[in-house]
Chain A
Amino acid sequence: GAVVSQHPSWVICKSGTSVKIECRSLDFQATTMFWYRQFPKQSLMLMATSNEGSKATYEQGVEKDKFLINHASLTLSTLTVTSAHPEDSSFYICSARDALAGDYNEQVFGPGTRLTVL
């Protein structure tokens, strides 16, 4: 089945630094990728929708200058958390939709990246 990978799985960084998270669709092409954030014991919160070759669409309240998203190819999207602060510590999860999946529209999730900002 379709597989999505994320790298790194976890990262610890100092406040003020930038962190890049990669999301890859391993065996399918993903014209659309999604970035979510999940705080402990809370549901998924969609941050942005990333379309290959175009600018990402950010959800209300998500700072696009702080969370930079690049979707340069059909198999790779990156999220860069710039000038990270402790409140950015969270579980970041990407998902991808198979461009050829047709009506099924299943989103396949990556394993997530746990970010801790000290």
Chain B
Amino acid sequence: GQNIDQPTEMTATEGAIVQINCTYQTSGFNGLFWYQQHAGEAPTFLSYNVLDGLEEKGRFSSFLSRSKGYSYLLLKELQMKDSASYLCAAMDSNYQLIWGAGTKLIIKP
């Protein structure tokens, strides 16, 4: 079956770095997405990886290893506004997004 695993919750300190891991198993693969979702709001797009390696976008970076079925989202210089849920989603061969349950990130001062 198809499955996405990511930690339920993580806590980090303002100004620090945090890495949110995601492993996936899908029927075919057309890319890995990371979305940010604040409470009560819809998800917003953060990143897309389809090739192995690291994609850097400002304070956020995303990494993909297709052979390992593994991705991570790296957040640097954490700010209080980064407190949110981070959703990992893999796109299968039918271009369907398979969603993880999300990782709730709590930022402490």
Whether A105 lies near B45 (C-beta < 8 A) is no
Closest B-chain residue to A110, C-beta based?
A: B42
Cα separation A109 to B41 with both chains bound (whole Å)? 10
B30 close to A (CB within 8 Å): yes
**Residue numbers in A under 8 Å from B43 (CB-CB):** 44, 93, 109
Whether B87 lies near A44 (C-beta < 8 A) is yes
Whether A105 lies near B42 (C-beta < 8 A) is no
Whether A93 lies near B42 (C-beta < 8 A) is yes
B91 close to A (CB within 8 Å): yes
Interface range on chain B (Cβ under 8 Å from partner): 20 to 34
**Residue numbers in A under 8 Å from B50 (CB-CB):** 103
Whether A105 lies near B31 (C-beta < 8 A) is yes
Closest B-chain residue to A94, C-beta based?
A: B42
Contact with A along B85-100 (1 / 0, CB 8 A): 0010001000111011
Whether A44 lies near B99 (C-beta < 8 A) is yes
Contact with A along B76-109 (1 / 0, CB 8 A): 0000000000010001000111011110000000
Whether B42 lies near A49 (C-beta < 8 A) is no
Closest B-chain residue to A34, C-beta based?
A: B97
Whether B41 lies near A43 (C-beta < 8 A) is no
Given contacts A43-B87, A44-B99, 5 further A-B contacts (CB under 8 A): A43-B100, A43-B102, A46-B96, A105-B91, A110-B42
Across the A-B interface, give the 5 residue pairs with the lowest CB-CB distance, nearest first. Answer: A43-B101, A109-B42, A112-B42, A93-B42, A44-B99
